[in-house]
Structure 1
Amino acid sequence: MKKIALALVCLCGISFAADYDPVKAEMLSLSCASCHGTDGKSNGITPTLAGMGKTSMNKILLDFKYGRQTGTMMQKHVKGFSDEELEQVSYYFSKVKR
C-alpha cells in the first residue's frame, strides 16, 4: 500500500513538472513585479514570492481567485489567469532563489 501511495505522489509531481513551460511562466510572472518586486523579491510590505513552495503558492493563488481568500487586490488580479497559468507562475517562483 505504501508503494502505491509513493508511486502516486511521484506521478503527480512528474505531471506538474512535465507541463512546466519556463518561458511562459516567466512571462506570466512579470505581472507580479509591480507589487512583489523583480523576480518576486519584494523590498516593501508585500510578500516575497521568490523561493515560495509551488504547492502552497498555487493554493493561495487559487484561494484568491475563487474567493476563499479576501482582503487585497489579488482577487481581481488572479481572475485574469487560468488555473493552469497560476500553476505556471507558482512553479516559476518556486525555482527563483530568495
Structure 2
Amino acid sequence: MKKIALALLCLSSLSFAADYDPIRGEMLSLSCTSCHGIDGKSEAITPYIAGMGKANMYQILLDYKNGKRVETMMQKHAKGFSDEELEQISYYFSNIKR
C-alpha cells in the first residue's frame, strides 16, 4: 500500500511539472519584484520568497485570493491571477535557490 501511495505522489508531482512553463512562470513573477525583490530575494521588510516550497506558496496565494488571509496589497494582487497562474508563479519561485 505504501508503494502505491508513493507512486501516486510521484506521478502527481510529474503531472504538474509537465504543465509548468518556465518562461510563463518567470513573466508572471515579474509583478512580484516591486515588493519582493528580483527573483523573490527581498532586501526590505517584505517576505523573502525565493526557494519557498511550491505547495506552501501556492496555498498562501490561494488564501490571499480567497480572502482567508487579509493583507491589503497581497489580497488585491492575488485576485488578479487565475489559480493556474498562481501555480506557475509558485513553481517559479520554488526553483530559485535561497
TM-score for the superposition, normalised by structure 1? 0.97
2:87 aligned residue: 87
2:39 aligned residue: 39
For structure 1, which runs of at least 5 residues remain unmatched after alignment?
none
Q: Structure 1 segments of 4 or more deviating over 6 A?
A: none
Instruction: After TM superposition, list the pairs within 5 Å mapping 1:64-83 onto structure 2.
Output: 64-83=64-83
Tell me the distance in 2 between the aligned counterparts of 1:11 and 1:69: 30
Tell me the distance in 1 between the aligned counterparts of 2:65 and 2:55: 15
Aligned length: 98
2:22 aligned residue: 22
Which amino acid counterpart does residue 19 of structure 1 have in structure 2? D
Supply the RMSD in Å over aligned alpha carbons: 0.7
TM-superposed deviation, 1:71: 2.4
TM-superposed deviation, 1:67: 0.8
Tell me the distance in 1 between the aligned counterparts of 2:6 and 2:96: 27
Tell me the distance in 2 between the aligned counterparts of 1:63 and 1:22: 24
Which amino acid counterpart does residue 60 of structure 1 have in structure 2? I
User: Secondary structure of the equivalent of 1:48?
Assistant: coil
TM-score for the superposition, normalised by structure 2? 0.97
Which amino acid counterpart does residue 58 of structure 1 have in structure 2? Y
For structure 2, which runs of at least 5 residues remain unmatched after alignment?
none
TM-superposed deviation, 1:87: 0.4
